[in-house]
Amino acid sequence: MDWTAYLNPLMQGAWVTIQLTFYSTILGAILSFAAGIGKTSTNLAVRSLAVTYIEVFRGTSLLVQLFWLYFALPVAGQALGIDLRLPPVVAGVLALSLNIGAYGAEVVRGAIEAVSRDQYEAAKALNFTPRKTLWRIALPQAIPEMMPSFGNLAIQNLKDTALVSLISLSDLAFRAEQLRNFTQDSTTIYTMALFMYFGLALVLTAMMKMLEFYVGRWRAGGR
């Protein structure tokens, strides 16, 4: 079979991969900020919750988390009398975002804590509330610092989406595996799949660089 015949099904899979990456990166970013800010909170309950979330999802394997959500959660639901069966796409996006969010949370916390004491003192002298200090002074300075790490996490997330093929979501990895089953033409198919992932990664990197420039435009040319 000619390699062009593989192109269409692989492209369909790539489109699913793109969507998975997009949604789980957005949701993961939200979780990153929630847990990262939560970990810097003075409220013990909030801090403990954030720390627990971060430690559990950083401390276990993504595939374990994915299987747990997909296979184990319904069993737990059964015991409680609730239907907790998740469609593969929900389990996939949830596992990916929870996982990447835990890593992102450490990036967010680190960047917030790296904002110099002087800035917090200036904000206090001008009578900003702690909340306004966070949102208007600390975060705008911290976000550009987070961007290189966020770029790496986005790539990590793109690669991790391949795991959802194992719960039968028809992403790029799934399509490749399916085609190989049909045709046994492993070399061509996996080479194409690898290059398509590589292409997606390059595009994603470029997009994250643009975002990095955009959020840090106030310091363009400076520093």
Partner 1 sequence: MLFGIAWDTSSGWAFAISILPILLRGLVVTIQATVVGFFIALVVGLVWAALKAAPLRIVSWPAAIVTEFLRDTPLLIQLFFLYYVLPEYGIVLPAFMTGALALGLQYSAYTSEVYRAGIEAVPRGQHEAARALNLKGMRTFTHIVLPQAVPRIIPAMGNYLVSIMKDVPLLSVVTVLEMLNVARIIGDRTFNYLIPLSMVGGIYLIMTLIASAGVRFLDMRLPKRGIPLK
Partner 2 sequence: MTEPIIKFDKVVKRFDSFVVLDELDFEVRPGEKVTIIGPSGSGKSTVLRVLMTLEPISEGVVYVDGDTLWHEKDANGRLRPAGEGHLRRMREKLGMVFQQFNLFPHMTVRRNITEAPTQVLGIPRAEARERADDLLDMVGLREHADKYPHQLSGGQQQRVGIARALAMRPKIMLFDEPTSALDPELVGEVLNVIRRLAEEHDLTMLLVTHEMNFAQQISDRVCFFDRGKVLEQAPPEELFTDPKQERTRAFLKAVLESN
Can you give the binding site for partner 2, defined by CB under 8 A?
Answer: 118-119, 121-122, 124-129, 132, 136-137, 140-141, 218-219, 222-223
In the shown chain, the binding pattern of residues 68 to 107 toward partner 1, with x for contact by CB under 8 A and - for none, equals x--xxx-xx--x----------------------------
* Neighbouring residues of 156: CB distance < 8 A, sequence distance ≥ 6: 100, 103
Which of partner 2, partner 1, none has residue 127 at its interface (CB below 5 to 8 Å by kind)? partner 2
Pick the closer one to partner 2 by CB: 145 or 171: 145
Least distance from C-beta 20 to partner 2, angstroms?
33
Least distance from C-beta 218 to partner 1, angstroms?
28
**212 touches 151 (CB < 8 A):** yes
| Interface of this chain with partner 1, residues 155 to 174, rule: CB under 8 A | 155, 158-163, 165-166, 173
Task: Give the three-class secondary structure for 47.
Answer: helix
Q: How far apart are CA 223 and CA 215, in angstroms?
A: 15
Q: Which of 5, 7, 202, 210 binds partner 1 (CB under 8 A)?
A: 202
Least distance from C-beta 121 to partner 2, angstroms?
5
Q: How far apart are CA 121 and CA 133, in angstroms?
A: 10
Least distance from C-beta 140 to partner 1, angstroms?
29
Q: How far apart are CA 18 and CA 25, in angstroms?
A: 10
- H helix count then E strand count, the chain: 10, 0
* Neighbouring residues of 128: CB distance < 8 A, sequence distance ≥ 6: 136, 137
Which of partner 1, partner 2, none has residue 67 at its interface (CB below 5 to 8 Å by kind)? partner 1
What is the torsional sign of CA 154, 156, 159, 161? negative
Q: Does 18 bind partner 1 (CB under 8 A)?
A: no
